[in-house]
Structures are given as structure tokens and as C-alpha cells.
């Protein structure tokens, strides 16, 4: 199945086998007792990149029943870093930075300042570090219909909407009771079919990625 580079990454991120591989890497990193990266983590990281043909691993798109995948939320908000524990290798930096959770910085602090002045200075810095969220265009449409990844995520992840509810949502109109299904409202047939096609396309791309990178197809 033909797909562009972005669709390949979107499919990989939602592929159950990839999510399982990432969970293995996540567990190894989380269970490390040493600040330095173990050889097992390095090997697993490199094997994952090679297997899925990635320069760097990408965050998996989690299913609604797997939202506790990353255990990093159990870590402390602030950790003092020393010259020995300052991350110099790319794996942990990637792992924490790409998820958007941690910011590694070196700060020079004037301890003569009052607590109030320091808190204000930290607050100002935090505002600079926070990246503004990019609002996704609602119901964005491709030439062939609705975005398959938006439809897939609405159905499989998070809210878990039915395809019919997604069609009504993306169609953008409020219909009265009795006119909320294609059987009783011809206006809903086109968006409903587009949603079905988009969802099937996403599933087909995920299946194509799964077949390409399955163990039996990897030399």
C-alpha cells in the first residue's frame, strides 16, 4: 500500500507491535537504578530504530485503555543535576524531550536575591519554556475526504466516538432527534461515508506497516 512519509510515521505510532516495543524500552529506562544509560537500554533503543527504520523513535499514539503507558509521571518535578548525572547521551534526552515533559537547562542563581524575587524569576522562565499549544484545525479535510488519522484517533483513542458521531461532529451541523442517522437524513450520508473511508484507510495503513515490519519479513 502506498503512503507518504508522514502517513508511515502516523501508522507506526498506532501500530500495536510498535507500542509494545516502546513499552519494553520505557520499562527498561524506568527501571534503571543508575543515572547512566545501561547497555541493555542502548541495545534495545538501537534495535527498535533499526527494526522500524526510524532515525529516532516517535511517541506512540496510545489507545484509550493504555493511557498509563509512560510511568515518567511518577518522577519528581525538580531533580538536582550534577556534573556526573547531567545527561550527555542522546537516548534519555530524546526520551524525555520528545514527550515534551522535561526541560534540561543550566541556571546561574543569585542566592543574594530574596525568595520572592527568585520565585518571580523562575515563574518568568517557566513561561518562556512552555511552548504554546497548536490548535488542530477542526475536521480538516484531505482531497479524498476527512483526515484518516483524526478519524482513527477520535474512534480508537481518548473519546472513543462511534463513526456516526464522528461524522456528525466533523459535518459541523446540529441535527434534531430523529434526523441524526443517515437512514433518516440524506445530508449525513456523504460525511458518514467519508468517515468510514478515512477510518478504513487508517486501518489499512496500520496493517500495511505491521506486515512490513513483522518479524517474518525482517531479515
CB 10 within 8 A of CB 203: no
pLDDT at 199: 95
Q: Work out the average pLDDT over 98-113.
A: 70
- The least confident of 20-24, 111-115, 154-158 is 154-158
Size of the chain, expressed as the number of residues it contains: 219
Banded pLDDT at 73 (limits 50, 70, 90): very low
C-alpha cell at 211: 506486515
- Stronger pLDDT, 62 or 150, i.e. the higher one: 150
- Mean pLDDT of the 124-144 span: 57
Alpha carbon 91 to its chain's center: 17
Give all strands (DSSP E) within the chain, no chain letters.
141-142, 145-146
Q: 146 pairs with which residues across the strands?
A: 141
Between residues 1 and 38, the one the model is more confident about = 38
Share above pLDDT 70 across residues of the chain, in percent, rounded to a whole number? 68
Q: Please, what is the angle between helix 189-212 and helix 148-156, to 10°?
A: 90
Residue, of 133 and 45, whose pLDDT is higher: 45
Q: Which of 26-35, 43-52, 185-194, 206-215 has the lowest mean pLDDT?
A: 26-35
Instruction: Write out pLDDT tens, residues 141-175.
Output: 455 578 999 999 999 876 778 999 898 888 877 77
Judge contact between 139 and 165, C-beta under 8 A.
no
Give the integer Cα–Cα distance in Å for 18 and 14.
7
- Between 57 and 44, name the one with better pLDDT: 44
Read off the pTM. Answer: 0.65
pLDDT band for position 98 (cuts 50, 70, 90): very low
Amino acid at each position: 500500500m502506498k503512503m507518504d512519509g508522514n502517513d508511515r510515521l502516523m501508522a507506526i505510532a498506532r501500530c500495536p507491535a510498535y507500542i509494545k516495543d516502546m513499552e519494553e524500552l520505557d520499562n527498561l529506562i524506568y527501571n534503571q537504578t543508575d543515572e547512566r544509560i545501561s547497555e541493555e537500554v542502548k541495545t534495545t533503543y538501537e534495535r527498535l530504530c533499526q527494526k522500524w527504520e526510524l532515525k529516532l523513535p516517535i511517541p506512540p499514539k496510545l489507545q484509550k485503555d493504555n493511557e498509563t503507558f509512560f510511568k515518567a509521571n511518577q518522577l519528581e518535578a525538580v531533580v538536582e543535576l550534577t556534573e556526573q548525572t547531567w545527561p550527555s547521551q542522546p537516548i534519555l534526552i530524546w526520551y524525555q524531550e520528545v514527550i515534551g515533559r522535561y526541560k534540561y537547562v543550566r541556571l546561574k542563581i543569585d542566592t543574594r536575591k530574596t525568595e520572592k524575587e527568585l520565585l518571580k524569576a523562575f515563574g518568568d522562565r517557566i513561561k518562556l519554556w512552555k511552548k504554546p499549544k497548536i490548535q488542530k484545525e477542526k475536521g480538516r479535510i484531505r482531497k479524498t475526504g476527512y483526515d484518516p488519522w483524526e478519524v482513527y484517533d477520535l474512534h480508537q483513542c481518548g473519546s472513543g466516538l462511534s463513526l456516526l458521531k464522528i461524522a456528525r461532529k466533523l459535518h459541523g451541523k446540529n441535527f434534531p432527534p430523529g434526523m441524526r442517522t443517515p437512514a433518516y437524513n440524506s445530508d449525513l450520508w456523504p460525511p458518514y461515508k467519508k468517515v468510514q473511508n478515512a477510518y478504513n484507510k487508517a486501518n489499512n495503513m496500520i496493517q500495511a506497516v505491521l506486515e512490513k515490519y513483522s518479524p517474518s519479513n525482517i531479515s
